[in-house]
Chains A and B, each alone.
Chain A
Amino acid sequence: MKDVFIAAKDLTYIYRRGNAGGYKALSGINLTVKTGEFLVIIGSNGSGKSTLARHFNGMLKPSAGSITVAGMDTTSAENTWEIRRLVGMVFQNPDNQIVSSLVEEDAAFGAENLGLPPEEVKKRVAETLRLVGLTPYAGHAPHLLSGGQKQKLAIAGVLAMCPTCLVLDEPTSMLDPAGRMELMETLIHLNRDMQVTVVLVTHFMEEAVLADRVVVLSDGEIALSGPPAEIFTEIELLAELGLQLPTALKIAHGLRQRGFSLPLDILTIDDMLAYCKNVLVE
């Protein structure tokens, strides 16, 4: 049993509380994120995904209920700095997150702000740029990077603060196919090999199937939670929630309806290919 890193208890959030046009974005959320887990949050536009993600580093504070990060309550101001260091955030638009005119300076920004000695910052930046594969670009201007590289730079900057957890809010939605693939490979590497806890908010079902666990939000509540193989058997419910099956699962589902019996762990195109290879070639 892994440690609980983030714990939300009866978490409710109301935008513009007490004002006209105020509304409940999250309602009674109970959720834990375990250390080392790869958690994906999906749900239609307006389901509360971003609002929830912004509670994970204390950017938003609960209107009711509570949320703790590494045992620290996000509502008490004295915890804010440590929580922000432990939980790094990466957002949708790669161009809005760059603060410097040199890649290595940009990656150093967060770590410098922690007041670390310059040699330590330098060491960390070299290490994190290497981790995300940007070492050859250390002396480049960030605006010359591709979208995927910019997102990896944002990740490197966060990693230089030695966080336990990365929270990414639709980081791939503005990237081209190659950038999307690069970024997902980086996240999987950080999670599997470097034990970084990853919380990924996404609209891409192809990304969701790579997670340890998927949480589906609907109207500010948790509609489903479980491993992808379980979540994606709820075909009707997902459709009702405005979500779709990834292509491999769509094909598998169709084949089962035609009377073929396929294993339940086919989630990706690679899984489907392996199955076909098994049946058709060997």
Chain B
Amino acid sequence: MLTLIIVLIVVAVVLLSTATFLVTGRRRGRRLEAPPGRPPAPPVTRPTQPPRPTEAGPRAPPQPEIAEPAVAEPAVTEPAVAEPEVAEPEAAELEVLEGEPEVLERPRFRDRLGKARNLFSGYLTSVRGREKIDATTWDELEEALILADVGVDATAKMLDDLRSRVRKEGLTTPDALVDALKGDMVSLLEGDRELHLQSGVTNVWLFVGVNGVGKTTTIGKLGQRARRDGHSVVMAAGDTFRAAAADQLAMWAERVDAEVVRGNEGGDPGAVIFDAVQHAAAKKADLVLADTAGRLHTKVNLMEELKKVRRVAGREPGHVSEVLLVIDATTGQNGLVQAKQFADAVEVTGVVLTKLDGTAKGGIALAIASELGIPIKLVGLGEGAEDLVDFDAVEFVDALIDAD
């Protein structure tokens, strides 16, 4: 048996070192930009395209831009036409939706977080109201921040800054200290929170992130918002990998009265999004919400695929005006690595922090905002369509560390 392992190790080592070399050598030579003006493949209903083999082989590597001569009709599902079988699963949730009043106030952090906070109040209750600042105070602050997933490094940096502030400003009470910390955190979170829309072009908002963070759901909710704000919305089912992801998006589209453009399962996501942009332009819709398959930022192929998707989405008449990284509030320190990788790949313009209505505090978003300068733009606070709200730094910080 030892023999096997030795042979294995030797072969793997040779493979590894050679593969690493070939890849790095190669990547340099690869042209990242596609030749301009070349039409992309519109293979939405391309019959020859085999469904992505989910069982055999990794996902297809990013393909070079190939001009497909066959221009197929984009498969556009009008919202009204949904398979009855598919529409049914909503029953449970429709009830919830119907229960809401017609005109909805967007819920604020505070209301939404109310129930969570009563159960799991912030970690700092005991700090405030004490007489003086001592070692315990600092320990408790550190603890609160770490438990909120802010991270060891970011916490250390914040507390160091706070220490020098204490000296400079002569803060003496824990109350003042906590307020100062909160002030610091709020200013760290400053940034451009607007969701940008350009007039005269077909705006594309691209949603990216690792698996299971809530990209599709976020698009659904945002679609509702955009419809309410009077935009004409096309949803692009760019997640051609996960089983039934397009169905999920189609249901949202129907629910919020938007159109959806979808391709084959296993098809080329870039092509689906390109078709969606074309369709939007033809229908004079001003906003395309483009879904992508969840991908771990460590998968080189998939990140290359994403770059391509972004390029294709930006082709005339499309204009990528937002690239939103969706991050789950329960994410720990890996969130920072994710954000870095996605930002490098597709120039992320903002973060959507989802599932903040649970017990997780989403402190990693603070680290992302402060270290990478990517602003948090939206926050998901529940399952309903109206539960996606604008980010509010003050309330976020309140919820992060304070009890009341």
> Do A and B make up one complex?
no
